[in-house]
A and B are shown apart, each in its own frame.
Chain A
Amino acid sequence: MKLLTANFLSCAVKACKSSPLSFPLHFRDAELASKSVPYNPLLLSNLLPRLDWPALVTSSKELGFTLPDTKPELPRLSASSSSATTADGDMNMDGTVGEENEKTLRMLHKTVGNFLLPSHLV
């Protein structure tokens, strides 16, 4: 689920918002721990159209595991549920996330990302 959350996050710095590099955020020095969560097909079918799959694949590579390159389609959701459950597994991460045009690093402390900005970047 943490991975899915990261898929919805983009850079909050005003100057970066217009840049395509502000999304997705990249993991660095992240430690991975997985925790399974109950499989919820309704939620997944609800979320799947909104996920940016290429970004999810990038994040998963940065964390050291792979997802199929193409987005699983909704009608075939039951067939591809194995990959879907991987994505839904809970990740526990310590490390940093940052964007490509790196100015700021967001510290992840015990899975909580720090998105506070100094006033000049708002």
Chain B
Amino acid sequence: MSRPEDNLPPDLFYNDTESRKYTTSSRIQNIQASMTNRALELLGLETPSLILDIGCGSGLSGEILSEGDPPHTWIGMDISPSMLAVALDREVDGDLLLGDMGQGLPFRAGSFDAAISISAIQWLCNEDEKGVDPKTRLSRFFDSLYACLKRDGKAVCQFYPRDDKQRDMICSAAIKAGFGAGLLEDDPETKNKKLYLVLTVGGEGNKDITGVVRNMDGVDVYDNRKKLLAKAKGEAKQGTKAWIMKKKEMDRRKGKIVKSDSKYTGRKRSIKF
């Protein structure tokens, strides 16, 4: 599978020729449309809402938002001027902005009901210029996204990670920003595998991320939070009394000579200069 992310920065890769493909190729359009519909399904919006489209490109996904039921209003942002020019030619309904998501989103807090992003956020993992850290760009993006969504808001980002490491980097950046995060994988183990990062912002309706897919058919839920929690609970923290006792017990079992436990074992010492 070719990865344009590995060759050029997004504003240079999506030049006039590449941008034109998005209006002429029906294959690209079909894929984009199905991914947008899936994202909308995950968002589950019932009223006409204001949606932020990150990496809107030529407005293929935006068109589906405007034509959906109920019709939504959207604001699109993209880094490639050529793509936006195509969007202008197509006279899409949404408002467009030229901007870099890695520099943060220039919106007031609590502006949007929801956000979608189709095949865009993997570009954040690139180190295109010297001194640009993907982690900083990711955290800047997710922090500003968290801020500009209203409470109870949701975001769905479809993306193509290069490997599991990149996927985990993106997910952990989102969790660090405060989102409740979950990954939905469509057609797993096939060439057409699609990953959707589902993000929720606090609020009553969003208490548990698994609630997003509760009413959807054919979705299995793997919850590894409990496992992580149990693991964290089971391990005594290094330096604590419980940890020292565990170590001593281990050594005793090995037959080593271990000092007997007393009230002074693992006690706190006063601070000395």
By a beta-carbon cutoff of 8 Å, the part of chain A in contact with chain B is 1-2, 5, 7-12, 14, 23, 40, 42-43, 46-47, 50, 52, 110-117, 119, 122
Contact = CB atoms under 8 A, between A and B. Distances in A.
B106 A116 contact: no
28 contacts: A1-B73, A5-B95, A8-B108, A9-B97, A9-B107, A9-B108, A11-B106, A12-B105, A40-B48, A40-B71, A40-B73, A42-B70, A43-B48, A43-B49, A46-B47, A46-B50, A46-B113, A110-B88, A111-B95, A112-B84, A112-B98, A113-B96, A115-B106, A116-B79, A116-B98, A116-B100, A117-B103, A122-B103
A12 B95 contact: no
A112 B107 contact: no
Interface residues of B, number: 33
Given A112-B98, A115-B98, A46 B48 contact: yes
Contacts, number: 81
B75 interface: yes
Given A43-B73, A52-B108, A112-B97, 6 more contacts: A1-B73, A8-B111, A11-B106, A40-B71, A115-B100, A116-B98
Nearest to B100: A116
Interface of B: 47-50, 70-71, 73, 75, 77, 79, 84, 88, 95-100, 103-108, 110-113, 129, 131-132, 140, 150
